[in-house]
Structure 1
Amino acid sequence: MKDSRKFLIGADVIEHLIPERHPMLMVDQVIDYQSSPRPQLSAERYVSANELVFVGHFPDLKLWPGVHTIEGLRQCCVLLDVIRQFEEVGLLDGLLELQRYQMLQPQVDKELCQHVLDNLSEIRQLEQSPIRLRVKLLAPVFAGCIIAYQVYQNTSDKHRWSVQAEVNGQSVAKGEILCPSPAG
């Protein structure tokens, strides 16, 4: 799907799609989704100096733990798979409508939003599957940064994703994630 409008969903909708919650939710918003020619998703995470992790992880240095960056990439893979499944059942517009509802927009199709929520139980998720990570951390991330995630699903192997995280255009993590999908 290549649409002229921007695909954007925030944390409130993301929390409907994956089980992680604060403080372990590592994706603040999905800023782009495309299903062809290769399924891909772009998302962001805002790293605040107020994150609880900074209290114990180098208390005098606001260094973001690399494992959190990798977890954000994993969550993006799950989101890509879930959003792709919503598109396959014709409910991609429903996700965008649910975002409008969460943003208190006028004239929202509440019936469509409810249909999306009702279909969540039908969507198969990756999070319980064993995963293999082949991700290298390339540069440190500090408080005040915006981590830009990009994940691409392999077209010949739906269980393999190429992943990358950047800060200000500089790659901070790159590799691949293998995660068997119960959705096939």
Structure 2
Amino acid sequence: MRKHFIPPQVFLEMGGWRQPLLMVDRINHYQYGEKGRIDVIKHVTYNESYMLGHFPDNPIMPGAMIAEIFGQASEYFSFLTDVCDIYRARYDIDLQSLRDICSKIDDENLRDIIRTRRAQVQGFLAAQNLKFKGIAWPGDTIEVTSQLIFSDRKGFKHYSVCARVGKKTIGNGTIINYREVK
């Protein structure tokens, strides 16, 4: 089965992060709508800058960095939702999934929406209520799911998040991202 793929340059245009803080390696799934969600992947490597000083004799992925994955995955979800809303309003075409977005990724109209919206939106991880139940080691792949629970009028978006390594849940809870249009 062919995976849907967003080219690296477009992927970077969508996010406000660059190395060393780019914590999402790939978007595996996106579903638009009330029960929408996003699934992302982060590969944990030995040469990540934060691994060198976090338990040097026994390196593990820091919980603060997993929280950053949660925040970035959640922002990608909200950003893709914005892009889908704008595309529908302009062209009367629904983009409901990662497959739909990838089918239009070479459309300059969609790419223009992505670039313009990224320049308009800014935000940050505002709060978190997380429980860590396991460890991610170098060589592991962390799979993160984020689902929007609700948005309030002041720009705060509340997400239910979960991180897994294989079938084992290593962390879950709620995060709150603040977003505003400049």
Amino acid in the other structure paired with 1:85: D
Corresponding residue number in structure 2 for 1:136: 131
Corresponding residue number in structure 2 for 1:166: 164
- Do 2:163 and 2:170's aligned partners in 1 also have CA atoms closer than 8 Å? yes
Corresponding residue number in structure 2 for 1:106: none
Q: CA RMSD in A?
A: 2.6
CA distances 1:114-165 after superposition (whole Å, capped 9, x unpaired): 33332222355352x5611111222111101000000001157572110111
Cα separation, partners in 2 of 1:10 and 1:168, compared to 1, 3 Å: farther
Counterpart pick for 2:121 among 97, 121, 125 = 125
CA distance in 2, matches of 1:7, 1:80: 16
Displacement of 1:182: 2.9
Amino acid in the other structure paired with 2:128: L
Corresponding residue number in structure 2 for 1:175: 173
CA distances 1:89-136 after superposition (whole Å, capped 9, x unpaired): 22757852576xxxxxxxxx4xx1x33332222355352x56111112
For structure 1, which runs of at least 5 residues remain unmatched after alignment? 100-108
CA distance in 1, matches of 2:75, 2:17: 11
Counterpart pick for 1:149 among 144, 147, 153 = 144
CA distance in 1, matches of 2:168, 2:7: 24
For structure 2, which runs of at least 5 residues remain unmatched after alignment? 89-94
Displacement of 1:56: 1.5
SS at match of 1:148: strand
Cα separation, partners in 2 of 1:138 and 1:10, compared to 1, 3 Å: farther
Scaled by the length of structure 1, the TM-score of the pair is 0.77
Amino acid in the other structure paired with 1:125: V
Corresponding residue number in structure 2 for 1:13: 10
CA distance in 1, matches of 2:148, 2:135: 26
Scaled by the length of structure 2, the TM-score of the pair is 0.78
